[in-house]
Chains A and B, each alone.
Chain A
Amino acid sequence: MASIPDDIFFASITEINQKLKAKEFSAVELTHAFCDRLERFGPGYNALALSLRQPALRAAKDVDGDIKRERFRGPVQGIPFGAKDLLAYEKHPTTWGAKPYAGQVFDYTATTLKKLGKNGGILTGKLAMVELAGGPSYRYASASLTGPGLNPWDRTRWSGGSSSGSAIAVAAGLVTFALGSETSGSILTPASFCGITGLRPTYGLVSRYGAMALSWTLDKIGPLCHSAEDCGLVLHEIAGADAEDPTSAGKSFYYAPAFARTLKEIKVGFAPVDFDEWAEPAARADFAKALDTIRSLGVQVTEAKLPDFPYGPVIGTIVSAEGATIFESLIKSGKVNELADQRQIAGLKAGLEIPAKDYLKAMRIRSLIQQAFRDLLADIDVLIAPSRLTPAPKITQPLDRPASDRPTPKERGLTALIPAGNLAGLPALSLPCGFADGMPMSIQLVGRPFSENTLLSIGKAFQERTDWHKRRPVVGGG
C-alpha cells in the first residue's frame, strides 16, 4: 500500500485529483489515510460527529474502478470531504449537534451530498456543529453535543460556529474540504477563526434539501476549503436547481475563472474605519497589507458605507421567530431543556412569543434592506471588510460580551456586513489575510446576488499573491 505524504492532507482538490489520475496512490489508500487522521485527531478538537469509514471505503473502491477505466467524473472524484452534521445522510445518525436529536436517522440523503457522491466525492465523516446551528442565540462555545469546537491554532480558543467541525477539519487537514451552513455568520466566522477559505453562496443557489432548517428565508449551504479555487470547484458541484427545495433559485453555477470580468473593471468598496479603528489593533498591520494587495490587483478602490438599518435586531427577530416555529414541537415537549446552552433554550422559548406583526415588520424592513443593497451595489461591485474584527475568543468567554473594552468608533463602517449580507441574500467569500495574537484573521468579500465568480476571481488572484491560506497549524499537539 502506498504511503500518503503529509503534504497531501493540505493539498488542493486539483492536486489530489491529478495524483489519483496519475495513480500515485489509489482512492482507497487516500481514504484510509484521511479516515485514520480524522478519527485520530478529530475527537481531540471536538470536531468529529460520526466517522463514515466503511461507506467511504466502498465509494473509494468505486472511484478506483472508474479511474482504472478512465471514467473521469470531475475534480472532486476521489476527494475525501466532510459534512456538517445538519445534512442528512441516509441510514446514518444526523444529530444537528443537539442531544434531543442524538438518535435521529433519516431515510434520505441531502441533495448536496448526493451531488458530490455522484461525481466521486468521498464523504468520510459528519462534522460537529453548534446545537441547532446556533438557534436564535447561544452564550458559550460549549453549546454542542460534542463540546466546544477547539481551534487547531490554539486549543484554548474557539473554532467559531456554527460550522465548527467543518472549519476545524479543513484547517487541521482531516478532510480536503467540508460543507457548512450559514444563517448569519456560520460559515464566515469559523472560516476566519480557523484560517481557511469559506464561501457563503447566494441564497437559493445551493439546495437546502436534507439540511436542518433554522430559518427558511436565511439558510445557505456552502463550502469551507483550503483556497478560493477549491471553493469554486466545490460550488460548481453542489449548486443548481432542485425541485425538492422550494426556495431554490433555479440557477446553475459554473466555475469559470478564465471568463470572469477583468479585475481592472471591478470596483471594490471599503470603509477605512473598519480597518483603522474597529479592527483588533494587533491585526491592523496585516489588514492594511491585505488592502494593499487588493489594490495591487488592479481593481478600482473606493470608500463605501452600509445603508443605515438595525441589522442585528432585524435578523435576530427573523431567526428567533422562524427558528422557534421550526422547533415548536421540541419546545412544547420540554425536550428543549436537554440542550446544552441555557441561552439557546431561553431563546427558543421566547421566540415562540414574537407576535406575527413584529416578524412581518422585520421582513418589511428586510425589503428595504434588499432595495438599499441593490442601490449600493449598482455602483460598487464588491464590498470588502474584515471577516471578524477580533481573533477567536477563549472557549470560556461568553460570546454575547464584547471581545475587547476598546471605545466604540463613531462611524459604523461595514461592521454589520455579516447580518446585512445575509438579510440581502448576498454571496460572501472569506480569505485568510494574516494573524493577530497568533490567531488567523481574514477579510470578507461581498458581492451582488450570483456574483460568486467575481468574488472567486478576486480571491484567487489575492491568494496567488499571498500565502496565508497555505499556513498550517501544528496538528495534534497540546
Chain B
Amino acid sequence: MDGMSIKLTRRETVLGLSASAVLLAQTPNPPLPSNPDEELKAVRDQIQQNLQQLDKVQMPMSTEPAAHFKA
C-alpha cells in the first residue's frame, strides 16, 4: 500500500466512511431461480444491488482507483 498515490485527509476518510451503508437488516430469502433465465435475472439484480451500495459511498474527487496496487 506504500505505493498508493491517493491523498486523503483523515477527515475526508471519515466523511467517506460515515456515508457508507452497512447491510445488517435481515431480509427474507427470495425463492431459488429454477431456470437459466431466472438465474441470470437474479444475478443482474444482485449486481445492481451491489452497485447501489457503492453509490452510497461518498469520496473526494481526488480518490484514485487502487490500480497501482502494492500491498
Contacts and interface: CB of A to CB of B under 8 A. Distances in A.
A407 B25 CA distance: 10
B27 to A, nearest CB: 10
Interface string B39-54: 1101110110111011
A314 B56 CA distance: 12
Contacts of A349: 40, 43
Nearest to A317: B50
Given A360-B65, A367-B6, A450-B71, A354 B20 contact: no
B26 A408 contact: yes
B44 to A, nearest CB: 5
Given A308-B18, A350-B47, A364-B66, 7 more contacts: A137-B43, A204-B71, A342-B33, A358-B54, A368-B17, A368-B63, A370-B4
Interface in A330-368: 342-343, 345-347, 349-351, 353-354, 358, 360-368
Contacts of B70: 204, 249
B48 to A, nearest CB: 10
A339 to B, nearest CB: 11
Q: Which of A320, A371, A373 has the most CB of B within 10 A?
A: A371
Interface residues of B, number: 44
A371 B13 contact: yes
Contacts of A368: 8, 13, 16-17, 57, 59, 63
Contacts of A307: 17
B54 to A, nearest CB: 5
Top 5 A-B pairs, shortest CB-CB distance: A425-B71, A363-B65, A313-B50, A449-B71, A313-B53
Interface in A228-245: none
Interface of A: 136-137, 139, 202-205, 217, 247, 249, 307-310, 312-314, 316-317, 320, 342-343, 345-347, 349-351, 353-354, 358, 360-368, 370-375, 398, 401-402, 407-408, 410, 412, 424-426, 449-450
Contacts of B56: 310
Interface in B12-42: 13, 16-18, 20-26, 29, 32-33, 36, 39-40, 42
Given A317-B47, A346-B39, A361-B54, A424 B1 contact: yes
Given A249-B71, A308-B20, A313 B65 contact: no
Nearest to B69: A217
Contacts of A372: 13, 17
Q: Which of A353, A368, A375 has the most CB of B within 10 A?
A: A368
Contacts of B16: 368
A375 B24 CA distance: 24
Q: Which of A202, A204, A342, A408 has the most CB of B within 10 A?
A: A342
